């Protein structure tokens, strides 16, 4: 059994989702491991990780719109230290999660045909985000 880990950095353009599947697949290929379990951790409380459809862009737009309806900006939050999108961003991260575990089979992530891995930015402004990546396997 071997392990590999790293911290990958991503720039987000602001609220929305950024596909990171190719970057992760590239790192996975560099490890030389062909079977195992890939674990991802978003190191932030106002961004999250998703596995979602990677074909129709409207899915990502609809998802962002739905999250905005669930956790709208407004003056009804006690926590607004960094602005009106601060607490809604934390709520969206709670709803969507900050970790993912993906089996690795034959040197590739065992994602379905229409699945991609996304970094969801829940803040309005662009941010520098980090994802801790760990692979254990053979």
- Looking at residue 80, its pLDDT comes to 86
Picking from 25, 6, 40, 33, the residue whose alpha carbon sits closest to that of residue 137 is: 33
CA distances (Å), origin 101, targets 38, 41, 77, 81, 138: 6, 9, 32, 32, 16
Every domain of the chain and the residues it spans: 2-137
What CATH fold (topology level) applies to the domain 2-137?
A: Jelly Rolls (2.60.120)
Phi, psi of 94 (to 5 degrees): -65, -40
Measure CA of the first residue to CA of the last residue in the chain; give whole Å. 5
Residue with tokens 């520098």: 128
Per-residue pLDDT at 75: 86
Which residues of the chain, if any, have pLDDT below 50?
A: none
Q: Which residues contact 3 (CB under 8 A, 6 or more apart)?
A: 134, 135, 136
Question: What does the pLDDT read at residue 26?
Answer: 98
How high is the pLDDT of residue 20? 98
Collect all residues with Cβ–Cβ distance below 8 Å to 36 and sequence separation of at least 6: 103, 104, 135, 136, 137, 138
Say how many C-beta atoms besides its own lie within 10 A of residue 100's C-beta: 19
Residue in this structure with the two tokens 């994802």, named with its chain if needed:
131
User: What pLDDT shows up at residue 3?
Assistant: 98
Contact 47, 57 (CB under 8 A): no
| pLDDT tens string 86-120 | 999 999 999 999 999 999 999 999 999 999 999 99
How far, in Å, CA of 87 to CA of 134, rounded? Answer: 29
Contact 14, 119 (CB under 8 A): no
């Amino acid at each position: 059994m071997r392990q590999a880990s790293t911290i990958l950095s991503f720039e987000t353009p602001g609220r929305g989702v950024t596909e990171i599947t190719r970057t992760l697949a590239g790192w996975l290929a560099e490890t030389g491991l062909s079977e195992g379990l890939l674990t991802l951790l978003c190191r932030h409380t106002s961004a999250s990780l998703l596995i979602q459809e990677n074909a129709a862009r409207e899915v990502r737009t609809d998802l962002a719109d739905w999250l905005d309806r669930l956790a709208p900006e407004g003056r009804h939050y006690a926590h607004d230290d960094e602005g009106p999108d601060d607490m809604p961003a934390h709520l969206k991260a709670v709803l969507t999660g900050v970790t993912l575990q993906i089996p690795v089979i034959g040197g590739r992530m065992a994602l379905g045909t229409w699945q991609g891995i996304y970094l969801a930015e829940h803040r309005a402004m662009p941010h520098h985000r980090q994802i801790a990546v760990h692979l254990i396997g053979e």
